[in-house]
Every structure is written in structure tokens, then in C-alpha cells.
Amino acid sequence: MILVMGLKKTGQSITDYLSKKDRPYCVYDKKEEVLLRYKVLGIKTYKDDEPITDRSIDLVIKSPGIPPYEPHIKYFREKGIRVISDVEFFYMEFKPKNVIAITGTNGKTTTTEMVYELLKSKEPVLAGNIGMTIFNDDRNRDDIYVLELSSFQLDNTDTFRPKVAILLNIEEDHLDWHGSFENYKKAKYKIFKNERPGDALIISADHINESEIHTDADIYRLSLDKKEGMNAYLDGDDVVFDINDFRKRVPVSKLRYKEKHNIINFMAAVLAASFFDLTDEMLDDFLGKFRLDYHRVEFVDEVKGITFIDDSKATNPSATASALMSTPQNTTLLLGGFDKKTDFTDLINLGGKKVKSMIFFGDIKDKLKDTADRLGVTNYFMADRLIDAFKKSIDIAETGDTVLLSPGASSFDEFKGYEERGDYFKELVRELKDGTIKRI
């Protein structure tokens, strides 16, 4: 008997699949209204703290958002019952041959989208943490799968084996969920754990400590700073690729997004796509058409001479630090949100030197203040919520300034996700333009 824990988009896609296959299962969720759908179908349901006593349960598929310390999960592990993620179950069911799996603390969504667009003519399947569920009953093991994978999904994999894995970088993140930085790294490293000779692992030599990488896969490296031994590197004003039979020079001037982190993302994406017969025509088509998704250093508007940038996707300090590298000195940074137990020391130090001012807000504001005070950083203001931080920013900003929402933390103290937070920020900018919001 399979137990599906967590019935949001991922869990529902799995139960739909199991139902179509006439496979017996039971379900768990915290919300009664979600469980009603299954009760009507005669499926056994468990809610919240209710003990799960069915002894026929021999496999648990859990939602990525359920942490390893959740009481039911701990109980199943103690009983020796296998607990897996949707990604592991997908691999068990379909044994796909052509998986490109992308992970990293930052840049994984952009890189995933780049790989997908590069291979779009081959009709790949885009799924995973990027927002599309991986489960569908018409999946074919010969299809190309481009999967963005979070540490939450990788943590509960045992046999998952991609043909091509990309590991971009690892910085402190999600320590509240994993318990330690070492546990977080172990989860990320599972992306290459089962790879074999002939499989590919693509790493950024600028960000990954290769001495910690133990794999049977063939390793391919990229770098902005090094050339020797690299399969993708910078040579003057060109990005150079040299991997197997794929050799190419791409002028940086042809890239729409020329920030250092996006050049790294581009390098990784092209290296991965080269394993699937990437042609010059496919690459040229990508260079002409690719656009970043919303909420990633996205220009919103210029109002009263002030430029507003939405980088709500920056949910950890290193992502915000990357954004600051491409913003002007006269920037007011909106920093705050829900505390994931990460260290903000380096970011506050950078903000003290790189921006005009910072506004700390949300659940984490006092932690940010304490860090700034300890470091002697003084260019900050305090606010309770995002709207308060926004109002403060338009009070202190002058013509020619930039207001950057790059929170460095998750959004769950006020919002359902970074998308809702970014959309709310954009709405505030629109209201300012319409005259609804006034300067304080």
C-alpha cells in the first residue's frame, strides 16, 4: 500500500496517476477540505496529528515541503518503511533514459529554462521544482526530461539517475529544513550519486569544491576565471565551449543577459544541451528568443524618476548578493521575509558598501538589524511588512535612484510564495504610478 503525504499539486498528480493505474493508496494532509475529495472516493484518509496505523503501508511518497523531522516521517523511517519524493517515484515507474537534472542554491530555474529553450525543437518535458508536476500517465522513457530539482526533492531519492546532472553552486540555505549545512550539501550531492561512467556531471569550478565530489560520472567543468581544463570558459569577449565534438565561440555581446551569474547559467545550459545534438541553428534561435521569467531582477517601471526592480525570486542571501552585483550604487535594497536560519553576515557587509540604503522588514528584520549592528553597518531602516518597507523606500529615494526588492529570504511570513510577493510589489509600484500611494 502506498501512502501519499501532502495533496497539493504534486500529491494530487501522483494520486491521479495511481487511480488511473488502479493501484491501492491512502492519503495524508493537514486540511480537511482537501481530504474530502478522497473520502468521497472511498480512499482511506489521515489528517494532521492522527496516527497512521495501516500496517499494509510499505511505501511513502511525501510532498517536498514536508520536512524530515515531521513526526509521521520519523515514525516511518524508524519502522524501516521507505520514504521517497515524487522524483524518485517517477524514476521508479518510468526509468527515463534522457534526464537532464539541474540543481544549485541559485540559478537553477534560469538554467533549467535555458536548457529547455535550447532543446525546444526536440519537444522536451519541462518539470520539477520549476512549477510543473513531473507526473503524467503518458510519460515516455525515451523523452528528454529537463528537471529543476530542489534539495527537498533530492533528499528523498535512492535510485534516481540522470543522464546529465548540473550542479551550479552551494550556499547556506534551508537550514531550518535540513538541520545543518552538511545535510543540505548531502541532499544536493544526491543529484550525481547514482551516475555511472558515460553519464555527465557539469559543475561550476568557480563555486563547487571538487574534492567533495565523489562520482563515477564524467565531470565537465565551466569557469569565468579559469581556462585550463575547462569545457566552457571566457576568452576575451567570447564564451568558448570545448566538449566532445562540440566546439563553439559565442560573443558575450550576443547574450541578452550579460551578468556574471547568467553567463555561468548559459555555459551550463549549453554544455548540457550539447549531449542532445545541439546545432548552431538551435543555439542561434535561443540567442534571439530567450527571455528570463518573472521576478528575477525584473524591471518593473520607472516612476517619478525612480527605477523599481523585482527580484522576489532571491530567497537566500547569496541570490541577493548576485543581484547587487548588477545594480547601481544609488540603490535602496528591500531585505526581509521568513527566517530559514541562514547567515546574513556577508550580505549585510556587502550591502553596507554596495547600496545607498537597506530596509529590513518582515519576520527576519530584528535578526538583520542585530547583524548590521554587530558589523557596524549603519545604512539601514526598519519596517514591519513589505508595504511599510516600500513606503519607506519611496520616502527616501531620489530621482535617479533604484529600489530593489531582493529579499534574501523566503516569503512565508506574509505570502504564499515568492511569486505572490513579487506580484504584490508590482501592484504597489502601479499604485504609486496611479497616485494611490503617497510618499510618507
Binding residues: 104-110
Q: Do 344 and 320 meet the contact criterion of CB atoms below 8 Å apart?
A: no
Torsion sign across C-alpha atoms 301, 302, 303, 309: positive
> Comparing C-alpha atoms, which of 200, 184, 172 is closest to residue 101?
200
| Spatial distance between the Cα atoms of 165 and 145, rounded to a whole number of angstroms | 12
Q: Do 107 and 265 meet the contact criterion of CB atoms below 8 Å apart?
A: yes
Q: Position 86: which residue type?
A: D
Sheet holding 357-361, edge to edge: 298-303, 306-310, 402-405, 331-336, 357-361, 380-382
Q: Do 114 and 132 meet the contact criterion of CB atoms below 8 Å apart?
A: no
Q: Do 267 and 250 meet the contact criterion of CB atoms below 8 Å apart?
A: no
| Spatial distance between the Cα atoms of 382 and 50, rounded to a whole number of angstroms | 42
| Spatial distance between the Cα atoms of 195 and 190, rounded to a whole number of angstroms | 10
> Comparing C-alpha atoms, which of 295, 324, 330 is closest to residue 402?
330
- Binding-site residues for ATP: 104-110
Label residue 388 exposed, middle or buried (CB < 10 Å: 0-12, 13-18, 19+): middle
Torsion sign across C-alpha atoms 123, 125, 130, 131: positive
Q: How far apart are the two ends of the chain, measured CA to CA in Å?
A: 60
Residue position matching grid coordinates 523523452: 143
| Spatial distance between the Cα atoms of 335 and 374, rounded to a whole number of angstroms | 17
> Comparing C-alpha atoms, which of 159, 146, 137, 153 is closest to residue 109?
146
The C-alpha cell of 20 is what?
488511473
> Comparing C-alpha atoms, which of 292, 274, 248 is closest to residue 122?
274
Torsion sign across C-alpha atoms 251, 163, 158, 73: positive
Beta bridge partners of 204: 222
CA distances from 76 to 15, 29, 118, 390, 435 (A): 20, 16, 42, 45, 56
Beta bridge partners of 242: 247
